[in-house]
Amino acid sequence: MKISARNIFEGNISALTSGPVSAEVEIITAGGDKLVGTITQGSVASLGLAVGKPVVALIKASNVMVMTDGSGVKLSARNCLAGTVKKLLQGPVSAEVIIALPGGAEVFASITRDATNELGIKEGGPATAVIKASSVIIGVKS
Amino acid sequence: MKISARNIFEGNISALTSGPVSAEVEIITAGGDKLVGTITQGSVASLGLAVGKPVVALIKASNVMVMTDGSGVKLSARNCLAGTVKKLLQGPVSAEVIIALPGGAEVFASITRDATNELGIKEGGPATAVIKASSVIIGVKS
Amino acid sequence: MKISARNIFEGNISALTSGPVSAEVEIITAGGDKLVGTITQGSVASLGLAVGKPVVALIKASNVMVMTDGSGVKLSARNCLAGTVKKLLQGPVSAEVIIALPGGAEVFASITRDATNELGIKEGGPATAVIKASSVIIGVKS
């Protein structure tokens, strides 16, 4: 598979909750990170998802927010991955931030250049990737 | 909290609908705007959400569309916030648009440069921010 | 209607599944493509959606991923539209890709410049647009 999604994590399904339309999939990645994604129940059926099954989780960089200070607030976003800024690339309007996680994985975030300045994002500094569950795509090897 | 999400609105929960996996949260912001977000039922429980509770709604700029003429069409997007273009910043591919709402709030949108040209977006002109409920993150003070 | 969403497809609802909070809408477009979107049940009611009804599906370019090789993996993303790269526009950080579908429609994707290089995206080459159902907005003529 070759896809533009900058974030592709291998892992295994650790929990699965089904509703009439939506389903919630919890994954433990190879690096030990926990990811939660919401997909349609139709995809759960067509992919044959079940607890324990090996999967990949795909997340587009533009769906990743970067938080440099999480004090004082608890978020509904189910995925908050704390790490260190490995690389910052600034364009005139957009910017790309790569966050290295303790388990060895890296998270790519596309955010605005303004945000990188206001948050004081710099290489080597702490940062948390914040990802809403609805932004996660699940893939299985066919 | 310091986070790259360009849109952070303070408000109070005015309605809450729960399903087995998803939940819908309606918020009235300090500026009098109504926002609707869909989050996981798991987050409703972990954040202790209830009608009346003060919350913040976070929306990434890349999840905001800009509409300059809404005539003739009704959209499923639950959040349509009408205002005036306060600022337009164009890069070679991307552009950032800031829309000022009547209640005093501002909405940041990241769209393509092409779209700003085709829509004729200009500072001082009317514009509506269109945001799907699934793009809204809810936060509570901890 | 004038809106920044780069992707607007006309079609008719071919299937509709309702849950307590979410609903899944399947559309057959004028070009013969099938699109699946998840919206809130509240929008199904307010728009009066039903099988057979003519609608438009809107998708922001930043919610479209580009896949150049789908072998070996099956994705939960409900929308995978295979076509040919018609145009590639690269900025310093972002890039825009236009994919022409066999039925005549075009799909706009905003991805990172890095991704276009790594995937070897070039005009005339094959590419598949991958879109999560939660990124689709439904509109009806009013």
Q: What is the pLDDT of residues A72-85, one digit of tens each?
A: 999 999 999 999 99
What is the per-residue DSSP string for A71-127? TTEEES-SEEEEEEEEEEEE-SSEEEEEEE-TTS-EEEEEEEHHHHHHHT--TTSEE
Please give the mean pLDDT across all residues of chain A: 96
What is the per-residue DSSP string for C33-91? -EEEEEEEHHHHHHHT--TT-EEEEEE-GGGEEEEEE-TTEEES-SEEEEEEEEEEEE-
Q: How confident is the model at residue B142 (pLDDT cuts 50, 70, 90)?
A: confident
Whole-Å CA distances, C12 to B17, C21, C55: 29, 22, 6
Per the CB < 8 Å rule, is C65 touching A5?
A: yes
Digit-coded pLDDT (tens) for C3-62: 999 999 999 999 999 999 999 999 999 999 999 999 999 999 999 999 999 999 999 999
Q: C50 to chain B: which residues are within 8 Å by CB? A: none
Question: What per-residue confidence (pLDDT) applies to B133?
Answer: 96
Please give the mean pLDDT across all residues of chain B: 96
Alpha-carbon torsion (C66, A23, B43, C58), positive or negative: positive
Enumerate residues 105 to 124 of chain A having a beta carbon within 8 A of any beta carbon in chain C: 108, 110
Digit-coded pLDDT (tens) for C13-23: 999 999 999 99
Tell me: ipTM over 0.85.
Answer: yes
Per the CB < 8 Å rule, is C4 touching B65?
A: yes
- The residue of chain A nearest to residue B18, with distances taken between CA atoms, is A19
Segment A99-106 shows an average pLDDT of 96
Q: A42 to chain C: which residues are within 8 Å by CB? A: 24, 36, 78
CA distance B63 to B109: 7
Mutate to test the interface with A, among B60, B114, B138 (most CBs of A within 10 A): B60
Question: What per-residue confidence (pLDDT) applies to A8?
Answer: 96
Regarding beta strands A94-100 and A79-90, do their DSSP bridges make them parallel or antiparallel, or are they unpaired? antiparallel
> Looking at residue A135, what DSSP letter applies?
G
Segment B25-45 shows an average pLDDT of 96
Residue C78 has phi, psi (to 5 degrees) of -80, -15
Q: How confident is the model at residue A142 (pLDDT cuts 50, 70, 90)?
A: confident
Other beta carbons within 10 angstroms of residue A52's beta carbon come to 8
Q: How confident is the model at residue B105 (pLDDT cuts 50, 70, 90)?
A: very high
Question: What per-residue confidence (pLDDT) applies to C122?
Answer: 95
Mutate to test the interface with A, among C132, C136, C137 (most CBs of A within 10 A): C132
CA distance A22 to B93: 34
SS3 B75: strand
B1, B38, B94: residue with CB nearest A72: B1
- Taken in order of first residue, the domains within chain B and their CATH numbers are 7-59+133-139 (2.40.50.100), 61-131 (2.40.50.100)
Whole-Å CA distances, C31 to B122, C10, C64, C116: 33, 9, 18, 26
